[in-house]
């Protein structure tokens, strides 16, 4: 499923798929919606289509879905967060990547503090309808570290010098990746990692 924005002002193309949603592109129904971010709530036809879209997402038991921001120009994965129904609706109306903060239990728009917004040009749902991609153009670095993307640490590069069959403790892995003490999940099921 894709939500596409054309170049004209506030035009939104929503492609909804039928019951065989991943198998047959001929089953797709397209509807063109004209809206402005200020009138979306006052336009009952638009609101109905947005509600239908939001109802079609398979939210988890906490009402969340994974939301990934991707650079429309380079294809780079910028960041990953979570979205709830309100975050996705806000992203659709504002065209700014909006997420749900699990720790603060509130919505947040990427760039609120840094002014490095991600200007959303397309929204995609995967075939299972349980994850979202915000395809957009960032105004600046996405990561709080100042990096273009939050994905700049290669796992394989960090582990390549480990001998085959050696065990790496979680504490050692945390040090390799610069994970601050207390932020690493040290559950019993991951006592050690074997490198093969």
Q: Which residue has the tokens 């273009």?
A: 148
Q: Determine, yes or no, domain membership for 150.
A: no
Distances (CA, A) of 185 to 112, 159, 176: 29, 19, 15
User: Does residue 125 share a domain with residue 71?
Assistant: yes
What CATH number is given to the structural domain containing 58?
Answer: 3.10.20.810
Task: Tell me if 135 sits within 8 A of 121, measured CB to CB.
Answer: yes
* pLDDT score of 7: 34
* Residue that finishes a domain, picked among 96, 113, 138: 138
Largest Cα span, the chain: 63
**pLDDT by position in tens, the chain (length 196):** 455 443 333 334 444 333 334 334 433 333 333 333 344 457 888 888 999 999 999 999 999 999 999 999 999 999 999 999 999 999 999 999 999 999 999 999 999 999 999 999 999 999 999 999 999 999 999 999 999 999 998 888 877 777 666 655 656 666 666 666 555 555 544 445 444 4
| Residue 131 shares a structural domain with residue 160 | no
Contact 45, 51 (CB under 8 A): no
Distances (CA, A) of 91 to 38, 111, 155, 195: 13, 13, 31, 41
If asked whether residues 85 and 133 sit together in one domain, one would say yes
Within a domain: residue 89? yes
| SS3 category, 173 | helix
* Pair 86, 43 in one domain: yes
pLDDT at 66: 98
Structural domain total, the chain: 2
Angle between helices 44-56 and 85-94 in degrees, nearest 10: 130
Query: Is 148 inside a domain boundary?
Result: no
Is residue 15 included in any domain, yes or no?
yes
161 in the same domain as 76? no
Residues 6+ apart with CB under 8 A from 182: none
The dihedral of CA 73, 77, 78, 83: what is its sign? Answer: positive
| 86 φψ region: left (φ > 0), alpha (ψ -120 to 50), beta (else) | alpha
Q: Are residues 38 and 99 in the same domain?
A: yes
- Report yes or no on 149 lying in a domain: no
pTM for this one?
0.66
**pLDDT score of 39:** 46
182 is a domain residue: yes
Together in a domain, 27 and 115: yes
Q: Is residue 147 part of a domain?
A: no
Domain extent for 126: 2-138
At 44 the pLDDT is 87
Q: Is 187 helix (H, G, I), strand (E, B) or coil?
A: coil
Domain check: are 124 and 32 in the same one?
A: yes
């Amino acid at each position: 499923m894709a939500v596409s924005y054309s170049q004209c002002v506030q035009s939104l193309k929503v492609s909804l798929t039928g019951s065989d949603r991943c198998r047959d592109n001929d089953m797709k129904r397209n509807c063109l919606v004209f809206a402005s971010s200020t009138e979306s709530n006052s336009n009952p036809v638009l609101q109905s289509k947005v509600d239908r879209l939001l109802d079609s997402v398979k939210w988890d038991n906490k009402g969340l879905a994974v939301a990934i921001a991707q650079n429309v120009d380079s294809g780079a994965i910028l960041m990953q967060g979570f979205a709830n129904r309100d975050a996705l609706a806000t992203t659709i109306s504002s065209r700014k990547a909006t997420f749900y903060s699990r720790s603060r239990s509130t919505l947040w728009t990427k760039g609120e503090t840094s002014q490095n917004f991600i200007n959303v040009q397309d929204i995609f749902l995967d075939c299972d309808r349980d994850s979202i991609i915000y395809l957009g153009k960032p105004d600046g670095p996405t990561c709080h570290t100042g990096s273009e993307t939050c994905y700049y640490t290669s796992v394989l590069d960090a582990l390549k010098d480990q001998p085959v069959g050696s065990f790496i403790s979680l504490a050692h892995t945390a040090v390799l990746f610069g994970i601050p003490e207390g932020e690493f999940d040290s559950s019993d099921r991951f006592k050690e990692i074997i490198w093969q």
